[in-house]
Amino acid sequence: MMSGSADDEEHEMNAKVALVTGASSGIGEATVRRLLACGYDTYAAARRTERLEPLAAVGAHPLAMDVTDEASMTAGIERILAETGRIDVLVNNVGYGSYGAIEDVSIDEARRQFEVNVFGAMRLVQLVAPAMRAQRRGTIVNISSMGGEIYTPLGGWYHGTKFALEALSDCLRLELAPFGVDVVVVQPGGIRTEWGAIAAENVVRTSGSGPYARQASAVAGMLAASGERDSSPEVVAEAIERAVTAARPRTRYAIGFGAKPLIALRRVLPDRAFDALVRRMASMAG
């Protein structure tokens, strides 16, 4: 009996702790399941905790968190540290695509896009960094997109958030490296989640009439056309698992349908040539 208690205490002391945001569906849900299978004590965060019940049933800790609310984020991190005394992995997954012509998207909506996709993620980094530095280890995984290196018409505000997230991640990697903390960017391509349908609806609602209507129709078609060719969220979760378990993770993981070839083309093609490629892709889908 005493030996069992000691083993339990040792397990608790050695168990690594992970926090995954946007965990109620898609990439976030798949990542929580993956980390649980790897033995991580995993907190699954979302605004609506009722959607986390299936994850709670398999051992995750549901955590109500809104990344646009300071009190919510602070309370969440304080709870994790109070219950476990540590945090080893942060997966900043929450995000959405607010599509529409830069001219058409309201500045309030543009700000909200940055609040969710950039400032929420970076505030969580600020909140977990002290504990990771004290531990002299940890991994921060920022879920960007192939849209953090490429661009599409009517996606300017969304791409802006992902370009910003990539730059901030690069700076973080340098800043936290001396403390044993890794910073990793994951760049999903086409993934079978709710994201594409929501973004397609946004672009039609925002720019479906007026001077950008033709482009909106084409972009909505491109966003909605992926369907079966898109990759499963599991492939992204697998890449995240590789990143957090590697002794020396890669700085970037481009994963899922289209990610590697499109990022490679962006790096080698002149701007005008890449512009033409994107227009052709949109016109074919539309």
Q: How far apart are CA 139 and CA 88, in angstroms?
A: 6
Give the pLDDT band of residue 2 (cuts 50, 70, 90).
very low
Give the pLDDT band of residue 93 (cuts 50, 70, 90).
very high
Phi, psi of 113 (to 5 degrees): -60, -45
Phi, psi of 24 (to 5 degrees): -80, -15
Q: Which two tokens stand for residue 149?
A: 């290196």
Q: Is it the case that residue 281 has pLDDT exceeding 90?
A: no
Q: Is it the case that residue 141 has pLDDT exceeding 60?
A: yes
Give the pLDDT band of residue 201 (cuts 50, 70, 90).
confident
Catalytic residue among 162, 212, 253, 260: 162
What is the residue extent of each domain of the chain?
10-192+231-258
Q: Is it the case that residue 182 has pLDDT exceeding 60?
A: yes
pLDDT, the chain, mean: 92
> Hey, what's the torsion of the CAs at 131, 136, 137, 138, to 10 degrees?
20
Look at residue 10 in the predicted model and tell me its pLDDT. 42
Whether 260 is catalytic: no
Give the pLDDT band of residue 284 (cuts 50, 70, 90).
low
Going by DSSP bridges, is the β-strand pair 181-188/138-143 parallel, antiparallel, or unpaired?
A: parallel
Look at residue 71 in the predicted model and tell me its pLDDT. 98
Q: How far apart are CA 219 and CA 54, in angstroms?
A: 34
Partner residues linked to 61 by β-bridges: 43
Whether 16 is catalytic: no
Catalytic residue among 158, 212, 253, 260: 158
Half-sphere exposure of 88 (CA within 13 A, CB side): 16
Q: Which two tokens stand for residue 45?
A: 């965060």
Reported as type and span, the H/E element at residue 244 is: helix 233-245
- How large is the average pLDDT for residues 169-190? 97
- How large is the average pLDDT for residues 213-232? 82
Cα-based distances in Å from 104 to 109, 131, 208: 10, 42, 10
Give the pLDDT band of residue 195 (cuts 50, 70, 90).
confident
Look at residue 69 in the predicted model and tell me its pLDDT. 97
Cα-based distances in Å from 88 to 64, 131, 136, 178: 19, 9, 10, 16
Cβ neighbors of 128 (< 8 A, separation 6 or more) are 19, 77, 87, 90, 138, 140
Q: Which two tokens stand for residue 175?
A: 């800043």
The 10s digit of each residue's pLDDT in 9-59 is 444 446 899 999 999 999 999 999 999 999 999 999 999 999 999 999 999
Q: How far apart are CA 193 and CA 196, in angstroms?
A: 7
**Interhelix angle 271-285/259-268, nearest 10 degrees:** 140
Q: Is it the case that residue 122 has pLDDT exceeding 80?
A: yes
Could you say which architecture CATH assigns to the domain 10-192+231-258? Answer: 3-Layer(aba) Sandwich (3.40)
Cβ proximity of 28 and 54 under 8 Å? no
Query: Which sign, positive or negative, has the C-alpha torsion 229, 232, 236, 239?
Result: negative
Task: Indicate the length of the chain as a whole number.
Answer: 286
Single-letter code of the amino acid located at 137: R
Per DSSP, helices labelled H in 68-178 are: 70-84, 107-114, 120-135, 156-176
Q: How far apart are CA 156 and CA 30, in angstroms?
A: 28
Q: Is it the case that residue 6 has pLDDT exceeding 50?
A: no
Instruction: State if pTM tops 0.75.
Output: yes
- What is the Cα gyration radius of the chain? 20
Cβ proximity of 19 and 80 under 8 Å? yes
Cα-based distances in Å from 267 to 132, 173, 188, 193, 262: 34, 22, 17, 27, 9
